[in-house]
């Protein structure tokens, strides 16, 4: 019989705040974290919008601990330090072999990679390059640095699945604890904003450009006038453990994870499949032993792209019906890519604990091509959320769905 899995600590770095109180206030007050930047124009990148987080100073850690970190790893470390403190974990618990670390990102530090390759190709020699430089931009830099900084000696599982990196990390940590393989887990994901990230989506005609001079008006998930996503950065970390363990040590559960579903379309690298998305949602509900009628809210992936929002809306209609309230918090932060699954999970928990649903920012007129759903827009909606779902989808047709219950 599967063990019940609860969340006992959260930490984050996001464009709308880096503490639960800051984030809750921002969601309640409809504040966003999107800014205009002129820095990308010289690269021929048309979008000028991003969701930015300040590089955390991390004074509690020494130079030796941080020498192999780029910004993405530092964001992850800051979020994880907050989650550990929130959960009240001891060093002995972190060092125990039964503690699992599952952490994701789209890739390593793109800023560190640029600096490294710029010097390499300019000089056409490896002399002068730091031997530790690669460690900043290797694909598992977040997981590796977290293990080193916090002394994790148990299993470490890096996840690199683009926009589902963090949600798959949470899901796989949940499965490990539910099955009894591990007792405690640190899990989540992070992303670092860089011109190459903005440029990739700009090339795909998927980045917002129409609102470059009106940062408060984009992205616009599900809206008729949306014109693409806004790239962003940040990190989110959750502490998971069995309910029995949490009770035994006197920890207060913030929420329970009751379902996880992950599927692959197996069809196209970039074009989303409503059938694949719906399959992930159904799998999460099946894992939770629930039907769609039990859900009180869905935090949609909804990035503000033309095709993605339409496909996702029809997937939700097929899997969940038209009753469940839906919104996307990407209107507040932009798309934090490898970190969004954890960051948006924390936003969902904030709404569950606060008794409200944050509306989708900038959703004024629902695109008629989107399915007929209960879109939360305009004003904050008071709501008692006993069960909530968070969905994320990634290139490669990778789909994830997580279901949370109020404890």
Instruction: Give the model confidence (pLDDT) of 205-227 as tens digits.
Output: 999 999 999 999 999 999 999 99
Residues 389/290, Cβ–Cβ less than 8 Å: no
DSSP state of 7: E
Q: Return the percentage of the chain with pLDDT > 70, whole number.
A: 100
- Provide the pLDDT for residue 132: 86
pLDDT in tens, 33-74: 999 999 999 999 999 999 999 999 999 999 999 999 999 999
Q: Cα separation of 407 and 398, whole Å?
A: 29
What are the Cα distances from residue 111, in Å, to 73, 107, 115, 138?
12, 11, 6, 12
Q: Cα separation of 6 and 175, whole Å?
A: 12
Q: Tell me the pLDDT band of 1, cut-offs 50, 70 and 90.
A: low
- Provide the pLDDT for residue 45: 97
Supply the residues annotated as catalytic: 163, 301, 335
All residues at 6 or more sequence positions from 380 whose CB lies less than 8 Å from its CB, including other chains:
28, 30, 356, 357, 358, 359
All residues at 6 or more sequence positions from 214 whose CB lies less than 8 Å from its CB, including other chains:
none
Q: Which helix (H) or strand (E) holds 64?
A: helix 63-66
Q: Give the length of the chain.
A: 407
CA-wise closest residue to 111 among 44, 173, 215, 191? 191
The C-alpha angle with vertex 124 and arms to 121 and 127, in degrees rounded to 5, equals 110
In angstroms, how far is CA 128 from the centroid of its own chain? 36
pLDDT at 370 over 60: yes
Q: Cα separation of 302 and 309, whole Å?
A: 5
Domains annotated on the chain, with CATH: 5-405 (3.40.47.10)
pLDDT in tens, 87-137: 999 999 999 999 999 999 999 999 999 999 999 999 999 988 888 899 999
All residues at 6 or more sequence positions from 1 whose CB lies less than 8 Å from its CB, including other chains:
none
Residues 285/37, Cβ–Cβ less than 8 Å: no
- Provide the pLDDT for residue 272: 87
All residues at 6 or more sequence positions from 247 whose CB lies less than 8 Å from its CB, including other chains:
none
pLDDT at 294 over 80: yes
Radius of gyration for the chain, computed over Cα atoms and rounded to the nearest angstrom: 20
Structure tokens at 3: 């063990």
Q: Provide the mean pLDDT of the chain.
A: 96
Structure tokens at 312: 């996702």
pLDDT at 342 over 80: yes
CA-wise closest residue to 358 among 375, 373, 372, 341? 375
Q: Cα separation of 15 and 171, whole Å?
A: 24
Q: Return the percentage of the chain with pLDDT > 90, whole number.
A: 96
pLDDT at 196 over 70: yes
């Amino acid at each position: 019989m599967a063990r019940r899995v609860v969340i006992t600590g959260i930490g984050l770095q996001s464009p709308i705040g880096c503490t639960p109180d800051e984030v809750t206030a921002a969601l309640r007050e409809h504040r966003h974290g999107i800014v205009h930047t002129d820095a990308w124009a010289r690269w021929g990148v048309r979008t000028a919008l991003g969701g930015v987080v300040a590089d955390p100073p991390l004074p509690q850690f020494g130079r030796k601990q941080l020498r192999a970190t780029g910004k993405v790893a530092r964001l992850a470390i800051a979020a994880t330090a907050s989650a550990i403190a929130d959960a009240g974990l001891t060093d002995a618990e972190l060092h125990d072999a039964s503690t699992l670390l599952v952490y994701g990102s789209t890739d390593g530090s793109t800023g560190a990679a640029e600096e490294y390759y710029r010097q390499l190709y300019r000089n056409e020699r490896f002399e002068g390059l730091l031997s530790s430089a690669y460690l900043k931009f290797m694909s598992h830099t977040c997981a590796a640095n977290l293990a080193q900084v916090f002394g994790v000696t148990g299993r470490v599982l890096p996840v690199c699945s683009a926009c589902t990196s963090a949600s798959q990390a949470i899901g796989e940590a949940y499965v490990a604890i539910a099955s009894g393989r591990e007792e405690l887990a640190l899990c989540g994901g992070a992303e670092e904003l860089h011109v190459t990230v903005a440029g990739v989506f700009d090339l795909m005609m998927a980045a917002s450009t129409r609102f470059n001079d009106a940062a408060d008006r984009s992205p616009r998930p599900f809206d008729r006038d949306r014109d693409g996503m806004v790239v962003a950065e940040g990190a989110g970390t959750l502490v998971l453990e069995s309910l029995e363990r949490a009770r035994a040590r006197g920890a207060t559960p913030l929420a329970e994870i009751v379902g996880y579903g992950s599927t692959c379309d197996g069809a196209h690298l970039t074009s989303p499949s409503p059938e694949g998305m719906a399959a992930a949602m159904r799998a999460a509900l099946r894992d939770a032993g629930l039907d769609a009628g039990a859900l009180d809210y869905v935090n949609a992936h909804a990035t503000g792209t033309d095709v993605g929002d339409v496909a996702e809306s029809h997937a939700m209609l097929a899997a969940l019906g038209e009753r469940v309230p839906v919104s996307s918090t990407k209107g507040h932060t932009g798309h934090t890519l490898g970190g969004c699954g954890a960051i948006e999970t924390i936003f969902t928990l904030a709404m569950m604990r606060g008794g409200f649903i944050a509306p989708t920012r900038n959703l004024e007129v629902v695109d008629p091509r989107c399915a007929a759903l209960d879109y939360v827009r305009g004003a904050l909606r008071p709501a008692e959320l006993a069960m909530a779902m968070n969905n994320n989808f990634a290139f490669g047709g990778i789909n994830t769905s997580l279901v949370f219950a109020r404890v």
